[in-house]
Structure 1
Amino acid sequence: MTLTPVQEDAWLVIPLYEEARVVEDVLREARAVFPHVVCVDDASRDHSAERARAAGAVVVQHPFNLGQGAALQTGMRYVLEATDAAYLVTFDADGQHRPQDAAEMVQRARDERLAIVFGSRFLDRRTRPGLLKKLVLKAAVWLTNQQTGMKLTDAHNGLRVIRRDAAVRLDLRQNRMAHATEIVLQLGRTGLPWAEHPVHVLYTDYSRAKGQSLMNSVNILVDTILK
Structure 2
Amino acid sequence: MNLDSTRRFFDGRLWVLIAAYNEASVISDVIKDVLLNVTNNVLVVNDGSSDNTAEIAKAAGAQVISHCDNLGQGAALQTGFSYLKGIDFDYVVTFDADGQHMYEDIFVMVEALEKEQADIALGSRFLGRVENISKKKLLTLKAAIAFTNATSGVTLTDSHNGLRLLTARAVNEISITQRGMAHASEIIDEICNKNLKWCEVPVTIKYTEYSVSKGQKISNSISIVLDLLINRLYK
TM-score band w.r.t. shorter chain = over 0.9
Residue 46 of structure 1 is matched in structure 2 by 51
What amino acid maps onto 1:80 in structure 2? K
Q: Secondary structure at the match of 1:40?
A: strand
Q: Is the 8 A contact 1:89 1:159 kept in 2?
A: yes
**Higher strand proportion (structure 1 or 2):** 2
Alignment of 1:137-216 (within 5 A): 137-210=141-214, 212-215=215-218, 216=220
Shift of 1:29: 0.5
One of 56, 61, 70 as aligned partner of 1:65: 70
Q: Is the 8 A contact 1:23 1:52 kept in 2?
A: yes
| Residues 57-78 of structure 1: per-residue CA shift (max 9 Å, x gap) | 1100112221111100000111
What amino acid maps onto 1:203 in structure 2? Y
Q: Which runs of 5+ in 1 are unaligned?
A: none
TM-score (norm 1): 0.93
Identity, in percent, stands at 43
Query: RMSD of aligned C-alpha atoms?
Result: 1.5
Taking the aligned partners of 2:93 and 2:129, their CA distance within structure 1 comes to: 23
One of 28, 34, 48 as aligned partner of 1:30: 34
Q: Is the 8 A contact 2:191 2:197 kept in 1?
A: no
Point out the more displaced range, 110-119 or 16-25. 110-119
Shift of 1:128: 4.3
| Residues 104-163 of structure 1: per-residue CA shift (max 9 Å, x gap) | 112221232111100000013444423222111011011111221100010000000111
Residue 122 of structure 1 is matched in structure 2 by 126
Q: Is the 8 A contact 2:75 2:177 kept in 1?
A: yes
Establish whether residue 131 from structure 1 lines up as the match of residue 132 from structure 2. Answer: no
Residue 226 of structure 1 is matched in structure 2 by 230
Q: Is the 8 A contact 1:121 1:127 kept in 2?
A: no
Establish whether residue 92 from structure 1 lines up as the match of residue 79 from structure 2. Answer: no
Shift of 1:201: 0.4
Residue 107 of structure 1 is matched in structure 2 by 111
Q: Secondary structure at the match of 2:48?
A: coil
Residue 15 of structure 1 is matched in structure 2 by 19
Q: Which runs of 5+ in 2 are unaligned?
A: none
TM-score (norm 2): 0.90
What amino acid maps onto 1:109 in structure 2? L
Q: Is the 8 A contact 2:46 2:65 kept in 1?
A: yes
Q: Which stretches of structure 1, 4 residues or longer, exceed 3 Å deviation after superposition?
A: 124-128, 214-218
**Higher helix proportion (structure 1 or 2):** 2
